[in-house]
């Protein structure tokens, strides 16, 4: 009799665990991996859950990403209305304290919103089974190459490790391998198959954007954007590399040695010059003259590694073609190949990758290209694409051309 009672109690506990798991999935509008899934595409799945994904659909439509969720093979970490509201409330609470008007999804900068939203979309299908490895799997945002980590774990049940429902910890690595500095969200309703991919639903206690949504955009270092020349065929004054925007790591710049957190109460500026409270590696630059160009004394960004970038606010006075030149130095004392960089305007690639030939330790100038720019304020970003210890970036120079 006791044995029969134990069996009955055991079955009840197991049924309770399964019922709780199913209820959690139904609460989120999802199905477990063993469910039959959703026959339509991922975009239609979101539309089938009114009151849950309205904000997510608004963002996807605003960013023109609907076709991606309709036809591409993708994994979506779906963010609920509640998560968007938490992020928005946090942003506007900060703005209220500084006397600024609130900003909502319809007002949020498109380039920044696109960067954040794409971190929740992955190319390919990543099920919890695939993500069930010790350290998770490093994955990359649908655009912009931002690195994240996804790790699935199963909870304990009936005293057995891994016998309970699974969940996925989805982390923004914040461009560091130190897990303590990662920003993480958790998905309990997972492995929801659709006609073209898989959906995991981020728990609604997590803020949209991994904390970045409430960070304000970078702002000009000298209180106003650098204005490009209105006159044709006249070089501008240099936009000095060291005058990158204000806003801190992850907003105004990225430096691989200085993660977007303080290290021992300080940032790592390897050169120790100029903006020492920031993490961009800065050295002094003596005045120089080479090939008929005078390079004035100041500072330079050096010891540049792949993926590092700095952001610059520029003002384009009128629609038209503008030539962009780069002042730089590649000593190549260690026999490295030529360096390369990308230029981005409002986070979108501007033209082709730019080769930075070896200069033998002297300052030199290279033409990045001529580009059609529209009138207004933009963000110009210098992105290092080759790890060259002796690469230095000194300045931009602009020219308006016919």
Sequential pLDDT tens for the chain (402 residues): 444 444 444 444 444 444 444 434 433 333 333 346 798 999 999 999 999 999 999 999 999 999 999 999 999 999 999 999 999 999 899 888 878 789 899 988 887 888 899 999 999 999 999 999 999 999 999 987 788 999 998 875 545 555 457 899 999 987 677 788 799 999 999 999 999 999 999 999 999 998 888 776 788 998 899 999 999 999 999 999 999 998 887 778 887 765 544 444 445 777 778 888 788 888 888 888 888 888 888 888 888 778 788 999 999 999 999 999 999 988 765 555 678 889 988 878 888 889 888 888 788 899 999 999 999 989 999 988 876 667 889 999 999 998
> What pLDDT sits at residue 330?
84
> What pLDDT sits at residue 258?
54
Separation CA 73–CA 198 (nearest Å): 8
> What pLDDT sits at residue 392?
86
Separation CA 81–CA 72 (nearest Å): 24
Q: Where are the beta strands (DSSP E) in 30-182?
A: 74-78, 121-123, 137-140, 147-154, 166-172
Separation CA 382–CA 387 (nearest Å): 14
pTM of the predicted structure, to 2 decimals = 0.57
Q: Return the closest-CA partner of residue 350 out of 371, 367, 366, 365.
A: 371
**Beta-bridge partners for 304:** 388
Q: How many residues are recorded in the chain?
A: 402
Q: Which long-range contacts (CB under 8 A, 24 or more apart) does 232-235 make?
A: 232/400, 232/401, 232/402, 233/399, 233/400, 233/401, 233/402, 234/399, 234/400, 235/325, 235/397, 235/398, 235/399
Q: Torsions phi, psi of 18, nearest 5?
A: -65, -40
Q: How many C-beta neighbours within 10 Å does residue 370 have?
A: 13
């Amino acid at each position: 009799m006791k044995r029969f009672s134990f069996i009955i109690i055991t079955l009840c506990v197991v049924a309770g665990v399964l019922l709780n798991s199913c209820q959690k999935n139904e609460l989120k509008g999802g199905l477990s991996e063993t469910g039959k899934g959703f026959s339509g595409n991922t975009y239609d799945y979101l539309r089938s859950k009114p009151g849950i994904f309205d904000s997510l659909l608004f963002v996807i439509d605003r960013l023109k990403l609907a076709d991606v969720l309709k036809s591409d093979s993708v994994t979506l970490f779906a963010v609920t209305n509640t998560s968007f509201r938490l992020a928005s409330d946090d942003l506007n609470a900060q703005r209220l304290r500084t006397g600024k008007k609130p900003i909502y999804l319809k007002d949020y900068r498109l380039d920044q919103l696109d960067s954040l939203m794409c971190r929740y979309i992955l190319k390919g299908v990543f099920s919890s089974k695939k993500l069930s490895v010790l350290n998770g799997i490093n994955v990359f945002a649908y655009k912009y190459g931002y690195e994240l980590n996804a790790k699935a774990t199963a909870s304990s049940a009936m005293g057995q490790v891994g016998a309970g429902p699974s969940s996925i910890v989805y982390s923004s690595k914040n461009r560091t391998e130190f897990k303590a500095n990662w920003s993480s969200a958790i998905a309990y309703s997972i492995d929801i198959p659709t006609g073209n991919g898989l959906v995991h639903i981020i728990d609604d206690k997590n803020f949209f954007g991994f904390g970045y949504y409430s960070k304000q955009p970078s702002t000009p270092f000298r209180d106003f954007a650098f204005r490009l020349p209105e006159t044709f065929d006249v070089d501008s004054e240099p936009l000095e590399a060291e005058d990158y925007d204000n806003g801190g790591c992850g907003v105004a710049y990225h430096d691989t040695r200085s993660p977007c957190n303080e290290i021992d109460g300080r940032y790592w500026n390897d050169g120790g010059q100029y903006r020492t409270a920031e993490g961009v590696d800065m050295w002094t630059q003596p005045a120089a003259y080479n090939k008929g160009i005078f390079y004035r004394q100041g500072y330079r960004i050096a010891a540049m590694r792949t993926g590092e970038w700095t952001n610059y606010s520029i003002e384009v006075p009128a629609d038209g073609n503008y030539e962009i030149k780069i002042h730089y130095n590649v000593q190549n004392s260690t026999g490295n190949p030529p360096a390369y960089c990308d230029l981005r305007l409002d986070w979108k690639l501007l033209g082709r990758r730019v080769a930075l030939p070896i200069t033998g330790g002297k300052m030199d100038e290279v033409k990045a290209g001529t580009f059609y720019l529209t009138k207004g304020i933009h963000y110009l970003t210098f992105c290092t694409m080759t790890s060259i210890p002796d690469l230095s970036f000194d300045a931009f120079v602009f020219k308006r051309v016919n």
